[in-house]
Structure 1
Amino acid sequence: MNTGFFGDIKKIKYEGPESTNPLAYRFYNPDEVVAGKRLEDHLRFAVAYWHSFAWPGGDPFGGQTFERPWFGDTMENAKLKADVAFEMFSLLGAPYYCFHDADVRPEASTFAESAARLDEIADYFADKQKKTGIKLLWGTANLFSHRRFMSGAATNPDPDVFAYAAATVKKCIDVTKRLKGENYVLWGGREGYETLLNTDLKREQEQAGRFLSLVVDYKHRIGFKGTILIEPKPQEPTKHQYDYDVATVYGFLKKFGLENEVKVNIEQGHAILAGHSFEHELALANALGIFGSIDMNRNDYQSGWDTDQFPNNVPEMALAYYQVLQAGGFKTGGTNFDAKLRRQSLDPQDLLIAHIGGMDCCARGLKAAARMIEDKALSGPLEERYAGWKSAEGKAMLSGKRTLEEIAERVVKKKIEPQPKSGRQEFLENVVNRYV
């Protein structure tokens, strides 16, 4: 369906690195085979409904800058928004999309009416998915924008808010399952606190654990085969977020016995806000066995908040996808562009160009990562650095066959005096730069 929003722009095609066409892919060829798999199947790109179609262009110091024909709280506008969204997914050749309930249907005066509106738009989506072949990567619930969630959702001091949030998530999981979504995400946008003067930390942690357990139980009860994901985020908007980073989420999951039920959806911008690199969070999730999916964006490194910009740094993407490939690649997860235009980027084609650039950047990064893995450019030096642990004595110390006294006795008897060895950081950084 041509809505007219994008004018006469045709489906975006791969034209190769020499192309100067802003509406063409230079590096993302979905059918190119890398490490035995098509690029489209490696990257599993998804477009975020909220930033691309629901965000009006505001920031903390100014209001709406975008004027979209679908803005307005009616079901007619919601369907026009869906028409334009699926037109854009098709123009980009993006195989997936993601949404919150509040992105796709207007809020009603009662929960039941809001749920009915979500069902109506889900039917509309189902028809479009059938016609286009575009799939749902994940669904989620907005449990942070409405004033009822100002003190949190699962962690709210009011049990009625907890119940309302639970009903909302149930409905969103039902819709995600109906649309054959491959994951369901929980992001605790206001699950945290501003001050301990009015916060019972222990109680709120228990509430959050109970809420997630209810979600997992329901998933199994209805036969939803998708993965349940938690998206870590530090600080913003609350000073102390309970889902601060991957390590914090893992500790939470372990406490409530959910570490084998729930994985993480890691966002580049959130990793930076937590004081980590994106690849750190990815590597840690892999090491802990909870890697699931990613939200791809970047922050402005001179700004202290979550600017949600489209990725354009190939070396960063190469290191990120190196960790994704090391984890065995995406299973049910994928690359969701949780990124938004700058509020001055007003033209419809800006939406396409932003995604084209991000997809090209990710493709370049993944291809560089795949070559590094194939050449053992990083894994070879890494294996060499830890080679001593393959010795009989190294294995004995780690396997519990040596007591502390026996280890100490060997140091004295063998007159062990270890000599420091270079970590070769600059060499390895130069290796990465050769591939990007």
Structure 2
Amino acid sequence: MSAQEEFFKHIPKISYKPSAGPADLWCFKHYSAEEVLMGKSMEDWLRFSVCYWHSFCGTGADTFGFPTLHRPWNEGTPMEAAKKRVRAAFGVKYYTFHDRDMAPEGSTLEESNRNLDEVTDLALQLQNQTGVNVLWVTCNLFTHPRYMNGASTNPDCHVLAYAGAQVKKGLDVAKKLGAQNFVFWGGREGFHSILNTDVGAELKHMANFFKMAVKYKEKIGLNCQFLIEPKPKEPCKHQYDYDAMSVIAFLKHYGLEEHFKLNIEPNHTTLAGHSYEHDIVMASSFGMLGSVDANTGSADLGWDTDQFPMDIRNTTLVMKTIIEQGGIQPGGLNFDAKVRRESTNLEDLFIAHIGAMDAFARGLKNAVCMIQDGLLPGMVKERYTSYSHGLGHKVVLGSATLEDLEAYVKETGEPKITSGKQETFESIFNRYL
């Protein structure tokens, strides 16, 4: 029995209808998978995936309230529910999961591994039948009480060892399912109090943990991209992977930059006090943008709300960066987003994904027009034109000296004040939305 027959009998096939009116939400108005833009199809530019933990494991529970979302695939024993979730999840191009989303944890590591083997056997069978693939796999190293003081940064090496054993199995599963990426999110890799924390030791332990993962990946011949996902806080007061620049500095300091890129979640970026697009742009500037957890948060709140991304300005800025770096393969746009706990109908889950996919399709089309028109890129280029010749070109090449700079100023005098024209740039940008 297919997922459509088992769980989604009343859900219609979602087709592309560019002429659809505002009330017709059971279609894509902008997302057309086969439409080619700048040499690639929309499907290749966007590479959407659905995440397990919110879409299929989510219950709507929060710290102040009980579950509100009662899904048919979460019924039965833990293993029965795990197998139902696998069947429900197959129907999208890509999916992502934590190991403990896929199969329940057992009373021992061996039992946990057996559970994971049994459920991923079913997942592999369904992948072969449907053509659905794994965008990325990750390990949950933050929920179990053993990880309350961290995983690879835990002061107890026994806990670090358990985390390593869990990651070893996760990498085996990633190879088994053909995952294109493997994500490390340091949910509790940080501290609440500096008084009981040896920061230098914890950072070194974490780096060596990553090096072990790199060696094992190479040993088993796993062909995937390693990704680190930054987040400044929650659940720790301060997390070591604070933002893109913190992670890039960490990777370069410990000689890991060749093995890792970043999986940027914009909701995490705004928690760090940055703009929505900030870490996307910064990671890309260093050649380190590997994938995006496509969600958003409420700017007036101070915590991670994981809402579906619907703001066209934000999606346009993200897609502009992705186009400028030539795409995001083997990464993608993973909807690490959950319907609100008040959105209790199963239909709400589909409407959310349709709306977010259309928002990114609109962002893609906006960004393509912006780049092809060349107006904004040309204005940016003009702003930096002094670096295209003479002394400026020497600065770019790294051959200029302080003596050269001094001589130039003595010869030419005081620099002219030039307008940054921010309002002009913003007004032109808005014309594309």
Compute the TM-score of the two structures, normalised by the length of structure 2. 0.96
Q: After TM superposition, give the deviation of residue 419 of structure 1 in Å.
A: 1.2
Instruction: Give the counterpart of 2:81 among 73, 77, 82.
Output: 77
1: CA distance, partners of 2:259 / 2:268: 22
Aligned to 1:59: 62
Question: Alpha-carbon deviation of 1:373?
Answer: 1.0
2:163 maps to 165
Report the equivalent of 2:33: 30
SS in 2 for 1:378: helix
Correspondence for 1:293 among 281, 291, 303: 291
Distance change (3 Å), C-alpha of 1:175 and 1:278: same
Q: Look up the SS of the partner of 2:56 in the other structure.
A: helix
1:362 paired to 2:360: yes
Q: Report the Cα distance in structure 2 between the residues aligned to 1:258 and 1:415, rounded to whole angstroms.
A: 45
RMSD across aligned positions (CA) = 1.3
- Note if contact 1:73-1:106 (Cα within 8 Å) is conserved in structure 2: no
Match status 1:432 vs 2:429: yes
Contact 1:230–1:262 (CA under 8 A) maintained in structure 2 = yes
Query: Which residue number in structure 1 is paired with residue 420 of structure 2?
Result: 423
Alignment of 1:7-406 (within 5 A): 7-19=9-21, 20-71=23-74, 73-86=77-90, 90=91, 94-406=92-404
> What CA distance in whole angstroms lies between the structure 2 residues aligned with 1:385 and 1:338?
37
Instruction: Say whether the 8 Å CA contact 2:94–2:134 is kept in structure 1.
Output: yes
1:104-156 deviation line (CA, Å, top 9, x unaligned): 11111001110111111111011111111111000000001111110000000
C-alpha distance in structure 2 between counterparts of 1:332 and 1:193, whole Å: 32
Give the AA of the match of 1:427.
T
Moved more, 220-229 or 398-407: 398-407
Question: How far has the Cα of 1:73 moved from its partner?
Answer: 4.7
Asked if 1:6 is matched to 2:4, the reply is no
Give the number of equivalent residue pairs: 429
Q: Secondary structure at the match of 2:7?
A: coil
TM-score (ref. length: structure 1) = 0.96
1:169 and 1:73, CA in 2 relative to 1: closer, same or farther beyond 3 A?
A: farther
Q: 1:99 to 1:123 in 2, by over 3 A?
A: same
Once residues 402 and 41 of structure 2 are traced to their aligned partners in structure 1, the CA distance between those partners, rounded to angstroms, is: 51
CA distance in 2, matches of 1:310, 1:279: 15
Contact 1:190 1:241 in 2 (8 A): yes
SS in 1 for 2:375: coil
Which region of structure 1 is more displaced relative to structure 2, 381-390 or 71-80? 71-80
User: Which deviates the most, 362-371 or 396-405?
Assistant: 396-405
For the residue of structure 2 that corresponds to 1:54, the secondary structure is coil
Residues 73/165 of structure 1: CA separation in 2 closer, same or farther (3 Å cut): farther
Moved over 4 A (4+): none
Task: Give the residue type in structure 2 aligned to 1:57.
Answer: G
1:307-349, Cα deviation, whole Å (9 max, x unpaired)? 0000110011101110111111112000000000100111111
Gaps of 5+ in 2: none
Contact 2:89/2:95 (CA < 8 Å) preserved in 1? no
Distance (Å, rounded) in 2 between the aligned partners of 1:298 and 1:17: 28
Change (3 A) 1:191 1:411: same
Q: 1:67 aligns to what SS in structure 2?
A: coil
Are the equivalent residues in 2 in contact too, given 1:73–1:107 (CA < 8 A)? no
For 1:11, the aligned partner's letter is: K
Q: Which moved more, 1:358-367 or 1:272-281?
A: 272-281
Percent identity (aligned): 47
Distance 2:269 2:87 in 1: 33
Taking a change above 3 Å as real, the CA distance of residues 9 and 397 of structure 1, as seen in their structure-2 partners, is closer
| Residues 113 and 388 of structure 1, relative CA distance in 2, 3 Å threshold | same
SS at match of 1:70: helix
Q: Hey, what's the Cα distance between the residues in 2 that align with 1:279 and 1:407?
A: 34
Report the secondary structure of 2:291's partner residue.
strand
Give 1:98's aligned amino acid: T
Q: How far apart are 1:5 and its partner, in Å?
A: 2.6
What is the letter of the counterpart of residue 83 of structure 2?
K
Q: 1:359 to 1:255 in 2, by over 3 A?
A: same
Any idea what SS the aligned residue of 1:127 has?
A: helix
Q: Is the 8 A contact 1:12 1:23 kept in 2?
A: yes
Q: Distance in 1 between matches of 2:112 and 2:266?
A: 32
Q: Structure 1 CA distance, aligned partners of 2:115 and 2:265?
A: 30
The change in CA–CA distance for 1:307 and 1:400 in structure 2 (over 3 A counts) is closer
Q: Which consecutive unaligned segments of at least 5 residues does structure 1 have? A: none
